[in-house]
Structure 1
Amino acid sequence: MWDLLAAGGWGLLAGSALLFGAMLGFLIRIPAKAVASVMAFGSGVLISAVSFELIAEAHEKGGFLPTALGALGGSLIYTLANIALARRGARHRKRSGGQQPSESEQAGSGTAIALGALLDGVPESMVIGTSLLGGGSVSVVTVAAVFISNVPEGLSSAAGMKRAGRSPRYVFTLWSGIAVISGVAALLGYGVLGGASGAVLAVITAIAGGAILAMIADTMIPEAFDDAHLWTGLITVAGFLTAFGLSRIEG
C-alpha cells in the first residue's frame, strides 16, 4: 500500500511542475528566447532519460525485439492521436507565440489542447510508477527528468494560451487537473502492472519511451528551435548530459 501511494506521490510531484511552469508562463512575461532555451534543455533531459532509463531498462528485461516493437508501437499510437488532436486545434499546444488558436478561431480547440496535454503527460507519469516495481526505489533520474521537462512544457503552453485569450481559470484548472492525473497515472503504472512479467514490463516501458520520443520531436523541439535557433543543439546536449550525469550518480 505504501509503495502504491509513493508511486502516486512521485507522479504528482513530477506533474506539479506543469502547474508551476504554467504559473510562470501566464503571470510573468518571459522572453521567447528564454522559453525556447529552457524547452531545449528539457528536451535533452528527456532524451537522456528515455535512452538510459526506459529503453535500456526495457532491453534488459525483455531483449531487443520486444523493446523495438514497443517503442515503435508507442510512437505510432502517440503520432496517430497527435494527428487527430492537431486537426482539432491542438497542434501548437506547447508553443508560446501566437500559434495557438482561440476558441472563436477554432471551436473545440480548448478541449483538444487539454486532451493533447493529457496525451503528453500520461506516458511520462506511468514510467515513474513502473520504476518502483520489483521492490526497488523510484528512479530519481526519471522523476527529475520529467519534472525538469514539465516546467518549460507548462510555461510555454500557458504563455501561448494567454496569447490566444484563454482565461486564467481555464489555464490553471487544466494544468492542476493534469498534475493530479499524472499522480493517478503513476499510481496505476505501479498498481496495474505489479504482477506483470518482465517481457510485458519491457514492452510497456518501451511503449512509453517511444511515445515520449515522438512527443519531444513533435512538440518540444519545434518550440525550442523557433527562437533559440542555432543554440538549440548545444542547449539540448547540456540537458542530455545533465540527466546522464544524474543517472551515473544514481547507478
Structure 2
Amino acid sequence: MPEVAQAAGWGLLAGSALVLGALVGYLVRIPARVVAGVMAFGSGVLLSAVSFELIAEANERGGLAPTVIGALTGAVVYAGANMLLARRGARHRKRSGGQQSSERERPGSGTAIALGALLDGVPESMVIGVSLLGGGTVSAVTVAAVFISNVPEGLSSAAGMRRSGRGPRYVFGLWSGIALISAAASVVGYAALGDAPASVPAAVTALAGGAILTMIADTMIPEAFEDAHLLTGLITMVGFLAAFALSHA
C-alpha cells in the first residue's frame, strides 16, 4: 500500500476513537468519577508517548536544538490558540459535567468548541504521518497512544456537550469531521516533509509533542481531577506504564 494511503488510514483509525468515545459519552450516562478515571488513564498514555516517542524521537532525528525549539513553539502556539478559544466559550470543551457553555449562554461557543477539538486533534495526527518518513513503518505506539487517549477525550467532551444541550447532529458531526481531518493531517505530516532535512521533521515532531503536552495540562488533567479523584495519580501512572511497555514490546 502506498505510504500516503497508509498515513491516511492510520490517521483515520486513530481519529475514529473520538467518534467511539463520543458515542459512549453521549448515549450512556457515565458517573463523573469514572470519566475522570478514564481521562487520567488517557493522560498517562499521552504523557508516555510524548516522552518516549515524540521528544525522544525528535532528539534522535535532529538533535537537541530543533527539539527544544519545536517543543517550545508547539507549546506557545497551542497555549495562545487555546486562550483565544477559551474566551469564546471553548475553555471547558473536554469537561463532562455542566461546565461547557451552551449556545444560548455564549453565542458562537459551538464553533469555538469545534475549533478547539480541531486544535487538540491535529498535532496528534501529524506525528503519525511523520513516523512513516524514510520508508519505515508507522509507529504502532504512537497510533495506539493516540487511539487510547482519543476515546476518553471524545467520551468526556460529548458528555459535557449533551449536558449543555447540544444535539446529536452537532456532536457526531463534529467528531466525525475531526476523524476525517485527522486522516488528512496525517497525510500532510507525511507528504509535506518527505524531502526535508532531518532537522525539519524532528522539529515538527517536537512541535506536536509540545502542543500535546500543553493540551494534556490545559484540558485533560482538569477533567481527570473531577470530584478530587483520589486515585488520579495512580491511574495516570498505569496509563503511562502501559504505553511505556508497549513501546518496549
Shorter-chain TM-score: which interval? over 0.9
> Within 1, Cα distance between the matches of 2:62 and 2:215?
24
> Within 2, Cα distance between the matches of 1:237 and 1:245?
12
1:100 alignment counterpart:
100
Structure 1 range deviating more: 133-142 or 219-228? 219-228
1:138 alignment counterpart:
138
TM-score normalised to structure 1 length: 0.98
1:117 alignment counterpart:
117
CA RMSD of aligned residues (A): 0.8
2:222 alignment counterpart:
222
> Within 2, Cα distance between the matches of 1:195 and 1:230?
49
Could you list the runs of 5+ residues in structure 2 that have no partner in the other structure? Answer: none
1:244 alignment counterpart:
244
1:168 is the counterpart of 2:168: yes
Structure 2 residue matching 1:103: 3-state secondary structure: coil
Number of aligned residue pairs? 249
> Within 2, Cα distance between the matches of 1:169 and 1:66?
42
Give the % identical residues: 73
Structure 2 residue matching 1:230: 3-state secondary structure: coil
Q: Deviations over 1:4-46 (max 9, x none)?
A: 0000000000000000000000001111111110100000000
1:234 alignment counterpart:
234
> Within 1, Cα distance between the matches of 2:190 and 2:101?
37
- Which 4+ residue blocks in structure 1 deviate beyond 6 angstroms? none
Could you list the runs of 5+ residues in structure 1 that have no partner in the other structure? Answer: none
> Is the Cα–Cα contact under 8 Å of residues 37 and 229 in structure 2 kept in the other structure?
no
> Within 2, Cα distance between the matches of 1:81 and 1:63?
27
2:185 alignment counterpart:
185
Q: Deviations over 1:147-193 (max 9, x none)?
A: 00000000000000000000110000000000000001001111111
> Within 2, Cα distance between the matches of 1:66 and 1:7?
24
Instruction: For residue 65 of structure 1, report the CA deviation from its aligned partner.
Output: 1.5
2:11 alignment counterpart:
11
> Is the Cα–Cα contact under 8 Å of residues 71 and 210 in structure 2 kept in the other structure?
yes
